[in-house]
Structure 1
Amino acid sequence: MDFKPSNLYISLVDLFAILLPGAIAALVIYHFNQSAINGFLDVGKDNKAFFSGFVLLFGSYLLGHIISQISAYLDDWVYDPLKDKVFKDHKCVKKVMEIRANRYGNEMTPVYVNSYKWSVFKLQKEYPDAAAEVERYMADSKFFRGLFVIMVILGFVFLFQSVIKAKIVLACFLLAAFSMVRYFKKRRKSTETAYQYIIFTEELNSKKEDKPKETLLALVSMDKNKIDITASPK
């Protein structure tokens, strides 16, 4: 199998989309449970640094998946119902649907795969570098989606801590609001970039297909008195 740098890049982007929110959650949990966690880490006292690093990495990865699963509900509960109200321009998705119907028929209906997934699958197969850019925007949106969940939970936890100042609680909710805005914008950027690549590449390919025909017609029109296009070859 051929190695493609874009494949590694996409996997790294997905990894960081899981690890970064998980690492933030792990550090928050450690802040509230230092004594218990330090007691657990003493099990590996012969090589505590390595054991602590392994626990942090494993905990970040596990918590990242839990946060990703919880935050995924925001797609159905928040983004999908509000995207048409927040973003008014739908020219790109309509054009992609038109290209899909005209050039490829209706073998794969939206019931099985929607326009965005179809665009990503096509880019991954034919233009992996373009797919890597789309995946980067999507990974950014997943990071901010997870960060929103963390900040909301942390805000309510701090809200009921009498020793925590109101400024910290306010900062958590402001970061949550910022994360939601960035989540919307990055997810929109991901879908629009995928559609724009499909439109551009399809238009480019159609012009390449039409070019020989246009060249032949130009030659015939320029020298139609000398070329007999109806004559049979000898």
Structure 2
Amino acid sequence: MMTNLFSSFDPSTNLSTNLNWISSIIGLMIIPSMFWLIPSRLSLLWIKITSTLHKEFKVLINNKKSQGSTLILISLFSIILFNNFMGLFPYIFTSTSHMVLTLTLALPLWMSFMIYGWINNTIHMLAHLVPQGTPSVLMPFMVCIETISNIIRPGTLAIRLSANMIAGHLLMTLLGNTGSSLSIIMINFLIITQILLLVLESAVSVIQSYVFAVLTTLYSSEVN
């Protein structure tokens, strides 16, 4: 019995340790070794996905000196997607629903972009604080607004991912807890609803990992 609604997101086990965080790497144990050795349908599908992402990120970055950074962004997309999908399995902790993980991914990337931009492209970074065509009277206010919007970027990245993961899982948990008090007919409707929600959560897992990677790419393109 849950003590409260959010206890399903508590990374604790019966051993009173944080063993549930192993869900972030447990997939490496179940990936077959043949996936790494010979071309298979699974490996060819993943190569197709990564090559498509590489082409898209390369266009967004639009800087020949930063083409290798697409590998970092594809890896970022992969780890978020993997953790999102692992959270859909029963009794596996959803690590991306915690700000500990999402902010750890967003904050260092944003900080590195800012340090690189202000050191190497200081004039370019200052020009971004005042949009083109802004009246002289509004320039001080625009600098404040752009500065604040720039500072909260890692927070919005982290909160967006965590909130979307929590929302769907909470809805599925709420519906699942009502099953014991329903009739047979209503349980059938509940099962269909849960299946539809699971499909929706699978789509959200892909979309949110893609959004996180694309927004990070756009933030990096602004400092070049």
Q: Report the TM range for the smaller structure's normalisation.
A: 0.3 to 0.5
Larger RCO (CA under 8 A, 6+ residues apart): 2
In our comparison, the structure showing a higher alpha carbon Rg is 1
